[in-house]
Amino acid sequence: MAEDSTFAIDRALRQELESWQRAGLSHLPMPPRRPPAANPSSASVKPPTTRTPPSSRSNSRMTAPAATQFTSRPITSPQAHTLPVVSDPLPASPHAVGSLEDRQWRLNELRQRVAACIRCQELANARTQTVFGVGNPEARFLFIGEAPGADEDAQGEPFVGAAGQLLNKIIAACGLKREDIYICNILRCRPPGNRKPLPEEAGNCREWLDGQIAIVDPEFIVCWGATAAQNLMGTEESIGRLRGRSFQHGRATVLCTYHPSYLLRNPAAKKDVWEDMKLFLKQAGLPVPV
């Protein structure tokens, strides 16, 4: 009888969560975990702390909280694929909140968690290494791609293969340097055969993406390709319909364009990407090359 009632509660809870998910809820705010009462000495999890942001920062943007809880709510067309996996918030760093050192410290903490992540068994078993992200920890611009390919898996850095070389050219054409940007992917492990990330894999990896976004706290996010755009914003709209528009994700403005690997297969689409880059530069207040 007790088992029947437990099963019924489980089923009702699952149905409720699934209905929220269908309604577009992608993340649930999670309180910090409490240590087991029976063993207080095992409490290694610190509750999130709120510290006063520094009075100034190199780019005068708002600062992220000291202990980052990686919850994030897409604002536009939410259509979440999976409920999130959320682990303990990072502890506060020993550095001034929002400083370069603070961001580097927290990204490094996050990187270590990602390196040990085995949420996607197939990917974890096949990877050479995790591909966390690279770039300026206090960048105004954060680029999101799809997933590591063979080159990225081998080198441990996103966008280093042929598509990465093309991305570098696009960045240079915009008058920017790769070091001006923070670059990461929807997934941090290479899908076998470079297949598209599965929805559950993107859901598994979402916490790490949200963490990177929260720490870098960019003003602009550029989604390269449908996988990046759809997963970040929880939409099923095509990349063709998403590009040319801007969206809001937290405080960041989001723009979408084609993935460089698509441009390698379809060079005619380069002119579309260039139009998207001009929109990006204009919105960022940067000179737009003619």
Give the whole-angstrom CA distance, residue 131 versus residue 133. 6
Rounded to the nearest whole angstrom, what is the least distance from the CB of residue 197 to ligand SF4 in the complex?
A: 8
Angle (CA) 231 120 250, round 5°: 30
Give the whole-angstrom CA distance, residue 271 versus residue 277. 10
> What is the x/- site pattern for ligand SF4, positions 238-277, by CB under 6 A?
----------------------------------------
> What is the x/- site pattern for ligand SF4, positions 125-154, by CB under 6 A?
-----x------------------------
Which of 167, 189, 213, 216 touches ligand SF4 by CB under 6 A?
189
Rounded to the nearest whole angstrom, what is the least distance from the CB of residue 83 to ligand SF4 in the complex?
A: 14
Contact stretch for ligand SF4 (CB under 6 A) within 74-82, 110-118, 165-173, 221-229: 110-118
Edge-to-edge strand ranges of the sheet holding 246-249: 134-135, 181-185, 141-145, 220-224, 252-257, 246-249
Token code pair at residue 257: 């364009």
Rounded to the nearest whole angstrom, what is the least distance from the CB of residue 234 to ligand SF4 in the complex?
A: 17
Contact 143, 149 (CB under 8 A): no
Q: Is 157 in the site for ligand SF4 (CB under 6 A)?
A: no
Contact stretch for ligand SF4 (CB under 6 A) within 1-9, 136-144, 183-191, 250-258: 183-191
Q: Is 178 in the site for ligand SF4 (CB under 6 A)?
A: no
- What phi and psi values does residue 250 have, to the nearest 5 degrees? 60, -125
Using the minimum distance from each CB to ligand SF4, give the nearer residue, 117 or 233. 117
Contact stretch for ligand SF4 (CB under 6 A) within 7-15, 42-50, 115-123, 278-286: 115-123
Cα dihedral sign for 94, 100, 101, 105?
Answer: positive
Rounded to the nearest whole angstrom, what is the least distance from the CB of residue 189 to ligand SF4 in the complex?
A: 3
Rounded to the nearest whole angstrom, what is the least distance from the CB of residue 130 to ligand SF4 in the complex?
A: 5
Contact 281, 174 (CB under 8 A): yes
| HEC string for 24-52 | CCCCCCCCCCCCCCCCHHHCCCCCCCCCC
**Pairing between β-strand 134-135 and β-strand 181-185 as defined by DSSP bridges:** antiparallel
Q: Is 100 in the site for ligand SF4 (CB under 6 A)?
A: no
Give the whole-angstrom CA distance, residue 152 versus residue 31. 35
Contact stretch for ligand SF4 (CB under 6 A) within 51-59, 71-79, 202-210, 252-260: 202-210
Which of 204, 227, 230, 235 touches ligand SF4 by CB under 6 A?
204
- What phi and psi values does residue 144 have, to the nearest 5 degrees? -125, 125
Interaction site with ligand SF4 (CB under 6 A): 114, 117-120, 123-124, 130, 187-189, 201, 204-205, 208
